Amino acid sequence: MIPVAKPVIGEDEIAAVSEVLRSGMLAGGETVSHFEEAFAQYVGVPHAIATSSGTTGLFAALWSLGLPTGSEVITSPFTFVASANSILYCRHNPVFCDIDKKTFNLSPDSLIRILRHRKNRPRAIILVHLFGQTCDMGSIMEIARENGLKVIEDCAQSHGAKWRGKASGSFGDMGVFSFYPTKNMTTGEGGMVVTDSPVLANKIRMFINHGSRTRYHHEFLGHNFRMTNIAAAIGKIQLGRLDKNNEARCRNAGILNRYLTGVPYIQTPYVHPDTLHVYHQYTLRCPRREDLADYLLGQEIGTGIHYPLPVHKQPIYENLGYGRISLPVAERSSKEVLSLPVHPSLTEKELEYIGQKVGEFYEGTSFSGYHNP
């Protein structure tokens, strides 16, 4: 079976974890601090704060802005639910912005329309760099400046991605990364908040540590969202090979493109000319998505649907009244996307096999009324 995702874990990670276990210092400490310093340097910012997950990182980042309760925060409907949930955790109100039909990222044009027509002025935006490609950061940062929006970058899928040579996570007030096992790098489970602001960095450090800067002295209600030394030991090794693994993902995507470009009815991933796409996912648009997935499964090829239901159509958000909102690009995309394996462990023979099997499925078929967006 060719899996759609596969963590790349080697002997170096095993040795690093063993060293931490033998030390007896399992909770946060020097290993976490070293990982934070290395990650901040990689992104090109002065501060990085390790957290227990990308979700807790988003929660902490938004909380640190100190927005008035009930503030409107714009985000994408086409992503994992954690982005919007962090807004609810902070007792604010999500405002969903439609996406670009090519990149699946937040649409600057839709963002402008929202800002023109909202009765209440939104205070912030949590944008999502989806599938390994950054948003249009030139347009979005200009819009944010003109409208006084705080910007949090959800970088859960964009480790190493760049816009015009600048790393994702280094544009807004904060960037938040996830180290879940399927990401381009992993710590098993974990996250990282990066920022230029020493004030925000200090607030987040206290928030994830029970509101404390000095042991047993708690200044406000915080949480235990800390990373362990065990996770950080894995992360330090993973960060060291991130660029190499991203290069492999790009190479693998190029091989898939070679076999799939020109196959009728499917749309291979679009890459904006100003971005370095790191292919967290290789995501097609295609008709009969479920049938294709079933066919590939029968050929021992794993696939993924990211995401089958837009966030505003999730039951929790429908119950909050968001279900009646129309976001046509996100809604159509959720019915047409299918992700193929692109991870660094794939061989060229496996990639060739994947491309051939997708082509076989569509060979000689006809889908009346279907048009690529």
Claim: this prediction has a pTM higher than 0.75: yes
What's at 245, amino acid-wise?
N
**What domains are defined for the chain?**
11-240 (3.40.640.10), 242-362 (3.90.1150.10)
Least Cα distance to 154 among 172, 142, 166, 136 occurs for 172
Report the DSSP pairing between strands 217-218 and 275-276: unpaired
- Residue-level pLDDT at 221: 95
What's at 132, amino acid-wise?
G
Sign of CA dihedral 268, 273, 279, 280: negative
The DSSP output letter for 132 is G
pLDDT in tens, 142-181: 999 999 999 999 999 999 999 999 999 999 999 999 999 9
Which three-class secondary structure state does DSSP give residue 192? strand
pLDDT in tens, 211-242: 999 899 999 999 999 999 999 999 999 999 99
Q: Is the pLDDT of residue 369 over 60?
A: no
What is the enclosing helix (H) or strand (E) of 48?
A: strand 47-51
Q: How far apart are CA 7 and CA 214, in angstroms?
A: 37
**Which pLDDT band holds residue 67 (cuts at 50, 70, 90)?**
very high
User: What's the whole-number average pLDDT of the chain?
Assistant: 96
